[in-house]
Amino acid sequence: MGQKIIIGITLGDTNGIGPEVVIKSLQDSRITDLCIPIIYGSSRIIGFYRKAVADAENLNTNIINSAKDFHPKRINIINCIPDSLQIDPGQPTPESANAALLSLERATDDLKEGLLDAVVTAPFNKSNMADASFQFKGHTEYLANKFEAEHSLMFLCSEKMRVGLVTTHTSIADVSKEITIDKIVEKLRVMNESLKRDFGVVRPQIAVLGLNPHCGDNGLLGDEEQTIIKPAIERVLAENILAFGPYSPDGFYGNNSYTKFDGVLAMYHDQGLIPFKLMSFDTGVNFTAGLPVVRTSPDHGTAFELVTKNEANALPMLSSIYMAIDVVKNRRSYDEMRSNVLKVRTFMHGKGTDNVEDLIGKSSEESAN
């Protein structure tokens, strides 16, 4: 547990703000006290964007051929993008999309091999990636496929709120077709487990939002709340998952009800992301729950219009690195507790229950107190 966590960092679209926010987030030498960063990209690209970042001379880099060769006190770089790459700041090109893919593939290969503890991904442009024959709608779908995760969840997290999505990159016209009882149940299971294992919440309470205005007004404006969402909530309640709702989103956010819950499950992209970004734009993190590995990403896009202006905000990238570190630590603690049930029983001094979840939950509460 005293070993520093190894974080792989991708550059995203090399003509977007990814390289700049990576440089800015790593230029404080204290970051290497918390983790061992490994950038998957190109020392040439880092050198190019470094010129546009104030005080970036403090970036102490080290070029390595393999993640096994990391230097524990430097910013390590694996050159997996060819030096022949044409850098066109602010312009989405097939070359920059291909560079993003090369960075992502090499980092996730090392993550799968166990050479990294987590990956933090800089943003790429989805339409640009599609033009480069990227077969997925985004990082979330790619990683779920890469790690053969049957169920995953796009989970937007900050200190103010955590919001998961039933449907992710789906057009509004298709949202209602994709929402089913089974899908909502699946997402609630993933969120509940993630809140416990990744965020240390002992007994998570989850709010479920409705789909239609005013939650359908008893069927006048749509019946998905009655026929799909409520039955899904009832099913998970029978599994001892504390899910409540459905709640009408406008009132739920307007009266700050979100503050009473550990997580919120939204039905579609903008229903969850608009309020999240209003409250957490500078520190929002996109976390992929349900994977056997840890992946985080800043909750913003490529912002081509800001490239080389030294205006890109690095706080979301820095928050993503910090969250990756925290989630790795939380998972280790959670798994350690469950692999040593006898130790938990000893800790409880014979307070007596045969329910392991109760034992661990109570011990966690007592430790917190």
**Residues 162-220: tens digit of each pLDDT:** 999 999 889 999 999 999 999 999 999 999 999 999 999 999 999 999 999 999 888 88
On whether the CB atoms of residues 7 and 118 are closer than 8 A, the answer is yes
Look at residue 342 and tell me whether its pLDDT is greater than 90.
no
Q: Supply the pLDDT for residue 317.
A: 95
348 band by pLDDT with thresholds 50, 70 and 90: very low
Look at residue 20 and tell me whether its pLDDT is greater than 70.
yes
Q: Supply the pLDDT for residue 281.
A: 85
Buried b (16+ CB within 10 A) or exposed e, 70-90: beeebbbbbbbbeeebebebe
List phi, psi (to 5°) of 149.
-85, 115
Residue with tokens 């929402």: 179
Q: Are strands 5-10 and 118-120 parallel, antiparallel or unpaired?
A: parallel
Q: How big is the CA angle at 72 (ends 26 and 143), to the nearest 5 degrees?
A: 65
Span of 95-99, 317-321, 359-363, 364-368 with lowest mean pLDDT: 364-368
**Alpha-carbon span 357 to 64, nearest angstrom:** 44
Q: Are strands 263-266 and 61-64 parallel, antiparallel or unpaired?
A: unpaired
Cross-strand pairs, 79: 41
137 band by pLDDT with thresholds 50, 70 and 90: confident
The whole-chain average pLDDT of the chain stands at 90
**Alpha-carbon span 362 to 344, nearest angstrom:** 10
**Tell me: the pLDDT tens digits for 225-270?**
999 999 999 999 999 999 999 999 999 999 999 999 999 999 999 9
294 band by pLDDT with thresholds 50, 70 and 90: very high
**Alpha-carbon span 57 to 38, nearest angstrom:** 18
Q: Supply the pLDDT for residue 347.
A: 47
Q: Supply the pLDDT for residue 30.
A: 83
On whether the CB atoms of residues 64 and 71 are closer than 8 A, the answer is yes
282 band by pLDDT with thresholds 50, 70 and 90: confident
Cross-strand pairs, 35: 5
**Alpha-carbon span 44 to 37, nearest angstrom:** 18
Q: What is the mean pLDDT of residues 97-109?
A: 95
pTM for the structure as a whole:
0.87
Q: Supply the pLDDT for residue 175.
A: 95
Tokens standing for residue 249: 């989103």
Taking each helix axis from N to C end, the angle separating 139-146 and 94-113, rounded to the nearest 10 degrees, works out to 40
Q: Which amino acid is at 313?
A: N
Q: Supply the pLDDT for residue 369.
A: 38
What count of residues does the chain have? 369
The single-letter DSSP state of residue 86 is P
CATH number of 158-280: 3.40.718.10
**Alpha-carbon span 302 to 312, nearest angstrom:** 10
How far is C-alpha 87 from the chain's CA centre? 28
How far is C-alpha 194 from the chain's CA centre? 11
Q: Which residues contact 130 (CB under 8 A, 6 or more apart)?
A: none
Q: Supply the pLDDT for residue 138.
A: 87
Q: Where in the chain is the domain with CATH 3.40.718.10?
A: 1-149+291-348, 158-280
Look at residue 132 and tell me whether its pLDDT is greater than 80.
no
Look at residue 359 and tell me whether its pLDDT is greater than 50.
no
Integer distance in angstroms from the first to the last C-alpha of the chain?
A: 22
Tokens standing for residue 66: 């393999």
Residue with tokens 């005080």: 55
> In which element (H, E) is residue 26 found?
helix 18-26
Q: Supply the pLDDT for residue 130.
A: 84
Q: In this prediction, what percent of the chain has a pLDDT beyond 90?
A: 77
Q: Please indicate whether residue 58 or residue 147 has the higher confidence score (pLDDT).
A: 147
341 band by pLDDT with thresholds 50, 70 and 90: low
Q: Which residues contact 357 (CB under 8 A, 6 or more apart)?
A: none
Q: Supply the pLDDT for residue 28.
A: 80
CA-CA distances (angstroms) from residue 216 to 191, 207, 210, 223, 258? 25, 17, 8, 6, 20
**Tell me: the pLDDT tens digits for 58-69?**
788 999 999 999
If one counts every other C-beta atom within 10 angstroms of the C-beta of residue 293, the result is 19
If one counts every other C-beta atom within 10 angstroms of the C-beta of residue 66, the result is 10
Say which CATH architecture domain 1-149+291-348 belongs to: 3-Layer(aba) Sandwich (3.40)
Q: Supply the pLDDT for residue 2.
A: 53
Q: Within 13 Å of residue 280, how many CA atoms lie on the same side as its CB?
A: 23
Tokens standing for residue 214: 């005013």
Q: Supply the pLDDT for residue 232.
A: 98
Q: Supply the pLDDT for residue 126.
A: 87
On whether the CB atoms of residues 162 and 264 are closer than 8 A, the answer is yes
